[in-house]
Amino acid sequence: MSEEEPAEKPAETPEPAPGDDYTEQLAGVVNQFNGTIYADAAQFGIGPQRPARVKAAAGKLDDTDVRADLSHYVTPACYDTALGALRKDHVVGLHGDRGTGKRAGAIALLREVTDGPLYLLSPMNRLKSLAERDYAAGSGYIIADRIAERKAADVDFTWRTVRDRVRDQGAYLVVTTTTPTACGEVDAVTHVRWAQPDPRQVLRVRLAGLDGVDEIVERVLRAWPDGGQLTDLVAVAADLGEGLTVEEALPKLDASLHDRVRTWFDEERDERDFLAATALAFLDGARQRTFESALGKLEAKLAEAVVGDEPDLGERPQPELLRQHRLKLYAPDSLIKVERAGSDGVARHCPRFREPRYRRFVLAELWAREEAPFWDGVSAWLDEVMPEEGLRVAAGLAELARYAFDEVDDILAPWADGKSGWPGQTTATHVLWLLSYDEALAPEALQLAAQWAGRGTPAERWTGAVALSGELGARYPHEAANRLWQLILQSHTVTGDAHVALAALFVTLTRRTEDAGVVLTLLDGKVRRLDKPGTKPEYIRAATRATLSVFAARDRISGRHAATTHLCRVGDRTAPVQGRLWATVLRNRPTRKRALSVLRSALDDLKHLCDDPVAVATSLGLAISAALPPGEADLLRADFFALEARTRKDSSPLVEHLLAAISHLHREAAALP
C-alpha cells in the first residue's frame, strides 16, 4: 500500500472516549507550556519567561549564523583528515562525544570546499533516502547527530551509493553521530573520530585583545577539569569578554558547580537530606508545603522499593513528633534554600536550589550512585506527584535525560500511552519539548516522538502528534509536517484529531519561526492530486479537512488567524500557495460553507495585521481566482453574499475587494478569443 493512501481501519482499534475534546486538550498543553515553562539556552526550569526562540534543525542555514559559528573557530587535530576525505569523496562522517563541536566542524569543513548554500537535513534520514534524494550542485549538506538505524548487511554498499550520488551531483555532505561505525563495517566513506580543539587556543582566540590574556587563560584552565565540555570554556570566555572578572566568571563553570555538588554528596549526611535533593530535582519552585508533603511520599515509596515488604521483627520505635527537619533541610550548608515568591499579592515560600544548575548535577550524582531499586521508587513517586506538578516534573526529567535518556524513556512510556490520563500525556509532551532546546538531545526527542506517532498505540500516537505540533515541530518542521500528514491518513489509529495537530504545528511555526510555509507547501502538494483520476474519496476528505483546519487555526495568544498572519508577514511568497489551497476548500461542496465563513473571519483580521489590508485582500483574491475553474467565480460571489445575508452581517469592504479581484480576472479570461 502506498504511504499516501489511507490505511484500512483495524477492527480492534478503540474509539476515543465520549466527550473528549482534543482541540481543547492540545490548546491546554500549548498554553501551559507558553505560560509557565521556559528553556533558556537549554537550562530547563519553571518561571515567568516565555520560551526562548527555538531554531529549526532542518532547512537552509542562515549566513549570519554561519559567520557567527566560524568567527572564533579553532580547528582540532583531526580537521585535516576530515577535510581531505571531504575533498576526495564529497562525503565524510564525524563521530564523537556531545559537546566536542561536531556541528561547527561540519560547517567549517563545508565552507572550505564550497561557497554555496548550506542545508541542515533531518537526523531521521535513513541511508536509503540519502542515496535516493537530489542534491543541488555546489551546495553543502549537514546531518547533525544522525540517529542510527538498524544494522543492515549492505550498509557499506548503501554508503557507497550515497557517496556516488552526492559526488556526481556536485554537492558535499557531512554526517555527524555520537556512535562510531564498527571497525571494517564501512570502507566507502571515511568516518573520522572527532575531538575538541585545543582549549588553550580556544580561549586565546576568544579573549584576544584583553590585558593579561596569558594569565587569564591559565587561571581558567586550572579551574576547568580534564574531560570538561568546550561549551563551559566558551561561556566563561563570553562573560570575560563582556567585562566580568575572572573571579566572577569562574564560578559559572558547570564543572565547578558539579564539584560542589559531588563534595556535598560525599559528606556524611542524614538520608533525608539526600531525599530532599532528589525531590527538589523534580519539584523545584513548588510551594514549601507541597514540596515537604511530596518528600514524605518519596520516603514511603523508596522504603517500599528498596526495603520491600519484609516483616519488621523488631519493636518499632515511637516516631518523633517534633523532629525540626526544616532547620536541617534549609541550613546554610544545604543545597536548598527557601525563597519568598509573590503571586497575586500573596507571598509564598518556595524551596529552590541555591544555584539553579545544581539540579542538573544532583541528578548526575544520583544516577551515578544509586541502583535500580532506588529509581523504581522514584518512578513510582513521580506517578503520584505528576498529575498536580507535571510541569515541574517535566523539567526535572528533561535534566535527567542528559545522563539517563533510557530511564526517562521508561518513565514516559506509560504516560504517553495514557495510563495516567491526559496529565501524563501532557507531561510526556512537555519533556520532549524541553529536550528540543538542546542540540544534543533534540534528535533523541524526535526519535521518541516519531516512535510514538508511527508505531505506538492510539494513545501514544496522539501524544506523539501533540509533541510534533509544538516546540519539537519548530525544531524539525519538515519531519513533523510529514509525520502528522501520515497520521491524518491513518486518523482511525489515533485517539485524537491529527488534523488539529497539523493546524497547531502551523500556528507554532507562524508564531515562533519563519518556517510556516512548510505546512502550506506540503498541503499544496497533496491537494494537487485531488483532480487526478482514481483519487480515493478518503484522500480527498483528508486533504480538504486538513487544509481547512490550518486556515481556521488561530493563535491562542493574539486570537488572529495564523494563515492571515503568515500572509501579511511574507506577502507575495505565500499568496499563490494560499490561493490554490483556498480554491480547493471553496470548490469542495462539503466544505464550501465552512470555508466561506473562515475566509470571512480571516479577512477581518487583515485590518489588524497589515499596513495595507486592501492590497493583501486583492492579492489573495487574484491568487484564488487563478486557481478557480471558469464559471466558479460568479457562484462563489453569490454564495458569499448569501452567507452574509444569513448571518446578518454587512458585507466587509475587504470581502468586496477580494471578490472583485476574483471576478476581474475571470472576466478578463472570458473576454479572450
Report if residue 134 sits inside a domain: yes
- Tell whether 24 is covered by a domain: no
Domain containing 228 equals 211-252
| Together in a domain, 167 and 120 | yes
- Residue 345 — pLDDT band, cuts 50, 70, 90? low
Residue 491 has pLDDT above 90, yes or no: no
Report residue 16's pLDDT band, with 50, 70 and 90 as the boundaries.
very low
Q: Residue 673's pLDDT is what?
A: 47
Statement to judge: residues 176 and 228 lie in one domain: no
Instruction: Tell me, yes or no, whether 82 and 188 share the same domain.
Output: yes
Q: Rounded mean pLDDT of 594-618?
A: 91
120 and 228 part of one domain: no
Looking at this protein, which amino acid is placed at residue 277?
A
- Do 79 and 189 fall within a single domain? yes
Mean pLDDT, range 277-299, rounded to an integer: 94
Query: In this model, does residue 22 exceed pLDDT 70?
Result: no
Q: Quick: pLDDT tens for 527-548.
A: 988 888 888 889 999 999 999 9
* Residues 215 and 141 occupy one common structural domain: no
95 and 145 co-located in one domain = yes
pLDDT at 209 over 90: no
Please give the average per-residue pLDDT across 415-420, as a whole number. 96
H or E element, residue 176: strand 172-177
Percent of the chain with pLDDT over 90: 51
As a whole number of angstroms, the distance between CA 504 and CA 360 comes to 31
Residue 19 pLDDT more than 50? no
* Any domain includes 168: yes
pLDDT at 672: 43
The domain boundary residue, chosen from 203, 229, 252 = 252
pLDDT score at 630: 80
Q: What is the CATH number of the domain that holds 159?
A: 3.40.50
Nearest to 378 by CA among 403, 397, 364: 397
387 contacts: CB under 8 Å, gap ≥ 6:
420, 421, 423, 424
Grid cell, residue 544, equals 480538504
CA distance 362 to 369: 11
Q: Is 232 found in the same domain as 129?
A: no
Asked whether the beta carbons of 94 and 194 are under 8 A apart, the reply is yes
- pLDDT of 330: 84
Angle among Cα 129, 131, 137 to the nearest 5 degrees reads 110
| Predicted confidence (pLDDT) at residue 204 exceeds the cutoff of 70 | yes
Q: Region 79-108: what's the mean pLDDT?
A: 92
Claim to verify: residue 178 and residue 218 sit in the same structural domain: no
Q: Tell me the pLDDT of the chain averaged across its residues.
A: 85
Q: Tell me, yes or no, whether 126 lies in a domain.
A: yes
* Helix residue ranges, H only, 198-253: 199-206, 213-223, 230-241, 246-249
Indicate whether 243 and 178 sit together in one domain. Answer: no
Q: Is residue 38's pLDDT more than 80?
A: no
The segment with the largest mean pLDDT, out of 217-221, 303-307, 573-577, is: 573-577
Domain for residue 175, yes or no? yes
- What is the count of structural domains for the chain? 2
CB within 8 A of 454, min separation 6: which ones? 461, 464, 483, 486
422-434 pLDDT, tens digit per residue, is: 999 999 999 999 9
Calculate what percentage of the chain has a pLDDT beyond 70.
Answer: 85
- Please tell me the predicted confidence (pLDDT) of residue 473: 95
Instruction: With cut-offs at 50, 70 and 90, classify the pLDDT of residue 302.
Output: very high
153 and 121 inside one domain: yes
In a domain, 151, yes or no: yes
Q: Out of 8-12, 77-81, 311-315, give the one with best mean pLDDT.
A: 77-81
- 89 with 182, same domain: the answer is yes
Q: Which residues of 273-289 are buried (b: 16+ CB within 10 A; e: fewer)?
A: bbbbbbbbbbbbbbbbe
CA distances from 605 to 326, 546, 610 (A): 55, 21, 9
Any domain includes 231: yes
Q: How far apart are CA 246 and CA 472, in angstroms?
A: 37
649 found inside a domain: no
